[in-house]
Structure 1
Amino acid sequence: MQSTSTSVESANANLYNLVGGENGIRRLVETFYDIVEQHPEGEPVSVLHLRGHGIAHSRVEQFNFLSGFLGGPNLYAEKYGHSNVRTMHEHVEINAKAKDAWLVCMDMAIDEVGLGPDVKSKLMANFTVVAELLVNRND
């Protein structure tokens, strides 16, 4: 079975550079998780991560995943043998509220790191598609 993110990855080969490469992705991930931990909008996401491996772990793995997802080195796939987001999250109960909170926090992080509206639009379109795929609970 093809990775859920493969078709999106090939369409985004340039996003890695537009975000700022390794340093830009690291800054985006750190800013995102700072928002998740410090803002009320992030509470549903924080709760999910605290039930799992924790936010420190998620900071590392989201960086690894986004690197490949945005067209850079496939760090997550090199480490785990795949980058299928459904497989990564199959143990997590994700509802629409958590999905929406994730997207709001990422929207805030993109603004905070200062990415332009064109890059933001491309990122959010791709993040929204993937986030919709991860909803596995209707409550």
Structure 2
Amino acid sequence: MISDMRADATSKRTLSSLYDRIGGEGATRALVEAFYDIVETEPRAEILNILHLRGHGVAHSRIEQFRFLSGFLGGPRLYVERYGHSDVRKMHEHVEISAEARDTWLECMNMAIDKVGISSDAKSELMRHFTRVANMLVNHD
């Protein structure tokens, strides 16, 4: 009985997560792929592409952002399972992030959300969370 109640509570929590509302693993992966496709091809995203190339590269970032976003959005905590934390400041401590880079990141993510067809209310919620985190990461003038 207790395990049934736990399973039911987990099911209710999972069904209401942003991760599930946008479409789970497939949609999260599509969002990450669309985002990095934009980073690699859009001229206005050059600042982000350069930052990624100075670090571990875009291919690495595609994998790690998927892992991070899965847990961040309420799905499987893949990044935490692998690294023991999901501290975005720690993840980005090696990167100089300016207000311009933050704004470009948010613009590219906004474009990626539109590209994969996420609903407007889910988009609003995503962008609210992304903006909060992006603001925390600015560490360079």
Normalised to the residue count of structure 1, the TM-score between the two structures is 0.89
Higher relative contact order (CA 8 A, sep 6+): 1
Q: How many residues align?
A: 127
1:14 Cα deviation after fit: 1.2
Match of 2:8 in 1: none
Q: CA RMSD in A?
A: 1.1
Does the 8 Å CA contact 1:41/1:104 hold for their aligned counterparts?
A: no
Q: Deviations over 1:58-117 (max 9, x none)?
A: 000000000000000100011011000000000100000110010000000000000111
Match of 1:5 in 2: none
Query: Which amino acid in the other structure matches residue 89 of structure 2?
Result: R
| 1:1-139 paired onto structure 2 within 5 Å | 14-138=17-141
Residue 97 of structure 2 aligns to a residue whose secondary structure is: coil
Q: Deviations over 1:15-71 (max 9, x none)?
A: 001111001100000000000001112111111100000000000000000000000
Residue 42 of structure 1 aligns to a residue whose secondary structure is: helix
Match of 2:4 in 1: none
Q: Sequence identity, in percent?
A: 64
Q: Distance in 1 between matches of 2:100 and 2:32?
A: 20
Largest Rg, 1 or 2? 2
Q: Distance in 1 between matches of 2:120 and 2:26?
A: 19
Match of 2:7 in 1: none
Query: 5+ unaligned residues in a row in structure 1: which ranges?
Result: 1-9
Q: Distance in 1 between matches of 2:31 and 2:21?
A: 12
